[in-house]
Chain A
Amino acid sequence: MKKKIRHFTLLEILIALSLSLIISGVLLFYYFQMSRVANLSEQATVRAFELRTLQNRLQNITLSFVKPNNRSTFFFQGSTPPGLFLSGTNTLIFSYDNGIVFDEALSNQVLGRLFVDPEKNLTLLTWVAREKWEAHVIPRFHREVLLKNVEKFSMQFLATNEEDASKAYLDLIFNQWIDHWRKEYQRLPALIRYKVQQIGQKEEIFAFPIIGPQTKVIYKS
């Protein structure tokens, strides 16, 4: 007599199904959690790298500012006519020491401009030094995008009391942050803050001391 084969009961199948559902549910939950964390972590790393690179570049430029004399060297905030610059952003024109680079004309002392272009790129434009400009010839320049998707860019300056300064400079309030730096000051500030905000991100502040006689701590008592 053939032995009767025992099949699974409906209850057993249901239990097996619910167990596998629970296990696959837990596994899927962990998988999605892990991929979400990995995604966020990657985004954070990319952003941290971008900001780190920007900090290094801004620091290098800031430490190389050259004292302005308004003939061959400059340091002031320029105007930002629409079309060339993103409206609502600031621009800084300055002379700085670019060190030794491949293009000999752009080595050593050069003229720089920090601004946000209409495509929302925080840009550093470097020209050859002002005294090397020739009449009717567009001066050589180098364009460098420091950060993309920038919607706000501004600066703040801190001035200290200096002897033999221009009248415009002496009218400043010292040791307080100010939003504008005019050509007539003919001085470098002691400290500078760059405020940068990318689309959908919080504002980031980069602050640096500027090397020079204006950046000295003096105690008279």
Chain B
Amino acid sequence: MIPKKKKRHLTLLEVLIALLIVSMALPILISSFVFTYSEQEKFLDEVILDRLANTVFVSLFEDLLANRISYKDLEAERETALSEAQMGLGSKNFEGTFSFKKLKPEKPDKSSNYFVELWRANLNFKRKKSEKVRPFSFDFLVIRDLTAQNAPKESNAEEEKEKK
């Protein structure tokens, strides 16, 4: 009688090694999907921020046209956080700051009462809880007309005449 060959079963060690290999391969498979998704999210952020920056600039420009942002505030050139109202629907995922910078002329002509200046609005946005900042900038003209302010007052001229 030929003795039947005994079947060799898998050992626990072999099963564990197999499991380990599978669990090592899974993250690689998943990571490619996660990478694609995160890249797509970054791209979407770019598209959304581009539109948000435009809307926020128009809102700031509206305040500039109405002189709700004073010339002193412009000159201060300080970075200010954008309010939720200014951010609109973008405030849900993003936060931002704005600042102004005078580009030209660097040194104004002090003998004149009428200035045309080139300014830049700098907007910086970032996703909440993220450090990566996406900057935007918009240029605009400012006219400073100090003719009326610096003109000699008529009443003063009359008083001087009377004194004489």
Chain A interface (Cβ < 8 Å from any Cβ of B): 3, 30, 34, 37-38, 41, 44-45, 48-49, 51-52, 55, 59, 158, 160, 175, 190-191, 193, 202, 205-209, 215-221
Closest residue of chain A to B147, judged by CB? Answer: A220
The 8 closest A-B pairs by CB, nearest first: A207-B58, A175-B66, A48-B47, A219-B71, A217-B64, A217-B142, A218-B143, A219-B144
Report how many residues on chain B are interfacial, defined by Cβ distance under 8 Å: 35
Contact between chains at B143 and A55 (CB < 8 Å) = no
- The stretch of B10-18, B49-57, B104-112, B126-134 that contacts the partner chain: B49-57
Chain B: minimal CB distance from A36 (Å) = 12
Query: Would A55 and B144 be within 8 Å (CB), given that A48-B47, A160-B65, A175-B62 are in contact?
Result: no
Contact between chains at B149 and A191 (CB < 8 Å) = no
Query: Would A158 and B50 be within 8 Å (CB), given that A216-B143, A220-B149 are in contact?
Result: no
In angstroms, Cα B54 to Cα A207, docked, is 7
Q: Count CB-based A-B contacts (< 8 Å).
A: 83
8 A–B contact pairs at CB < 8 A? A38-B37, A44-B44, A45-B40, A55-B54, A158-B62, A206-B55, A208-B58, A217-B143
In angstroms, Cα B51 to Cα A30, docked, is 34
Closest residue of chain A to B56, judged by CB? Answer: A207
Chain B interface (Cβ < 8 Å from any Cβ of A): 4, 30, 33, 37, 40-41, 43-44, 47-48, 50-51, 54-55, 58-59, 61-62, 64-67, 70-71, 88-89, 140-146, 148-149
Interface of A is mostly: mixed
Query: Would A216 and B71 be within 8 Å (CB), given that A34-B33, A202-B89 are in contact?
Result: no
